[in-house]
Structure 1
Amino acid sequence: MNDQADNDSGTGGWDAISASLAQLYPGQEPRHAAPVRPAFLGGGDPLDGISVYHSTHGLPHWHYVTYGLSELYGKESEDPDHSGYGLELTFRLLALPGETEAPSWAFDFLQNLARYVFRTGNVFEDGHWMTANGPIALDTPTSICSMAFAGDPQLPAIETVNGRVEFLQVVGLTLEEERAATRWAPRKLLDALLPHMPLWITDLGRASLLDLPDVGAAVAAGMARDGSSTGHIFTDVLEVTELVRGGAGASLEVTLGARQVTDLLALLPLRLPFGNALALAGSDWQLVFEPAAIDDAVLEGQTLTVFMRPVTLAAFGSTLAPFAGDYHLAGLAQVAWSVKKTLIRDADGVVVQTIG
């Protein structure tokens, strides 16, 4: 298919994706799910469609591919090198014995991921991760509650008349694997899982692969060698208050949620000793931890930067706890730490878990 034919048809981007899939699945007619009214006509689903193929590579599975994060028709974006967001999502789901139809929940799952991209402008990349805040398949008992992203191992990037498109695969993870991904590196974790997870096929019925000795050992060795690649974490609970006190009392109070304290205690020893900073971002404030030879705390605008010596980092880890209360560090006497309970709510706003 040449560029001129793509331009004449008006569906050059769409045709390029379909041609790439036809090479991988010659002669197979996919099931295609399209919204009744796509987003460009005022509908609620951002993707124009999702195709799914049955694959016998690795393990029998369903291979979903989106249409709509790239420019499927005419060129509208100002970026000459990339088509739309420059990607389409793929997802490989283990096919159950005797299963003849691809599960429909995955269509909604991918539409929701695309909706996040369209709403926020945050573009997924190889090596990213994201929590699902619950099972990725709502009506199926599963421990898969998170995801990582990697280039689809069988679909290389393509050049279309509207620019480059990469196929980014969504890989389902357990919460334990998500924690390992943030405390090491998502892409390195996926490589460690690959021998037990061919083509990164998501299996809703599996347990955490970290329980396997070789995977657990590889992750532990990787964290000790590399530290963590996570430089930013986000929180709903973060506030910095300037205190009016006399004497040698604290002049600043930092309020954190118990859930984020757990993350901090895990990540700081995997960042600062390796010479890397760690930032905690809230809706109004940012808290940045930096390795330093002298302890200090500097407030500039809405950002508090905390400089820590190794000994103070060790004291922080042994003093602060993910439980509601007030905490103080001798090395950083100017900062008081207040930990509040974290309330986890479901989609209806009902508290389903309390941390701290």
Structure 2
Amino acid sequence: MGLFGRKKSPPASDVDDSSPGWESIQTAFAVAFPDVEDLHFAPGAPVSLGGALDGISAYPTAAGWHFVTFGLTELHTKQSEDTKLSGWGYELTLLTPPSDEPPAWALRLLHGLAKATWSSGHPHDIGDRIALGGPLDGDESKLTAIAVMSEPAATPGQFPLGHYAFHRLVGITDGELQDMKDSSTETVLQRLSATNPLHVTDPGRAS
């Protein structure tokens, strides 16, 4: 998996008391997907050592692999002066089609967007569109951009280090990106939901 090494994710009840933000994320996904054991991928360098994330978890659900990041919010202790917001105020999520293993491109995408946020100082808010400069999977996908929406499947219920939300990434084509610029992100996502109600990001989608 390149930048990431796989390891077993500890259950929420076993997370150290000094990581209440981490536990909050795990709890939210445990509520959304009860009895589903995730695969966890840890980067070579965590946020405390200059990395972009502390990890990414992938949950094998009926709809596919449901990813969530750890590290754009404050996971362990309060670091920022903003007592109301945890870190950047969100973690990224992504839903990909069912497969034997979580796709490596999804890990690269999530890590890359997190890294861009830390480097630029600009968060990825709901309604944003992000041109990727090439195929989303680094291959021949027609999905070349990302739209950001509110995560519909999981909602944080605990805010020990400040408020945060889950922001779902949805892969879109060049044409859909232009349509969003001409109308709105929400309008086009609503149109796409007619054939893709769960907003699965499938690199093989033709249009």
Alignment TM-score, normalising by the size of structure 2: 0.89
Q: What's the offset of the Cα at 1:37?
A: 2.4
Q: Is the 2:42–2:54 Cα contact (8 Å) retained in structure 1?
A: yes
Q: Tell me which structure has the larger Cα radius of gyration.
A: 1
| Segments ≥4 residues shifted beyond 6 Å | none
Q: Which residue of 1 aligns with 2:100?
A: 100
Once the two structures are superposed, the pairs formed by residues 1-356 of structure 1 within 5 Å of their partners are 9-42=17-50, 45-56=51-62, 60-95=63-98, 99-138=99-138, 140-208=139-207
SS in 2 for 1:190: helix
How far the C-alpha of 1:34 sits from its partner, in A, is 0.4
Q: Deviations over 1:12-37 (max 9, x none)?
A: 00000001111112122211000122
1:221-273 per-residue CA deviation (whole Å, 9 max, x = no partner) reads xxxxxxxxxxxxxxxxxxxxxxxxxxxxxxxxxxxxxxxxxxxxxxxxxxxxx
Query: C-alpha separation between the residues in 2 aligned to 1:81 and 1:192?
Result: 35
Please give the alpha-carbon distance, in whole angstroms, between the structure 2 residues aligned to 1:187 and 1:117: 22
Q: Which runs of 5+ in 1 are unaligned?
A: 209-356
User: Which fold has the larger relative contact order, with Cα–Cα distance below 8 Å and residues 6 or more apart in sequence?
Assistant: 2
The Cα shift of 1:88 comes to: 0.1
1:155-208 C-alpha deviation (Å, 9 max, x unpaired): 124442101110000000010100101111012211111111122111111122
Residue correspondences, number:
194
Distance in 1 (CA, whole Å) between partners of 2:127 and 2:155 is: 16
Deviations 1:124-174 (A, max 9, x none): 111111100100111x32100011000011112444210111000000001
Q: Are the counterparts in 1 of residues 193 and 199 from structure 2 also a CA contact under 8 Å?
A: yes
RMSD between superposed Cα atoms in Å = 1.7
Query: Identity rate of aligned residues, in percent?
Result: 34
Q: Counterparts of 1:20 and 1:159 in 2: how far apart (Å)?
A: 8
Q: Matched residues in 2 for 1:199 and 1:125: separation?
A: 20
Query: 3-state DSSP class of the match of 1:118?
Result: helix
Q: With structure 1 as the length reference, what TM-score do the two structures score?
A: 0.53
In structure 2, the partner of 1:242 is: none
Which residue identity is paired with 2:42?
A
Compute the displacement of 1:74 (Å). Answer: 0.3
CA contact 1:33–1:51 (8 Å) conserved in 2? yes
Structure 2, unmatched stretches of 5+, are 1-12
Between Structure 1 and Structure 2, the one with more helix by share is: 1
Secondary structure in 2 matching 1:34: strand
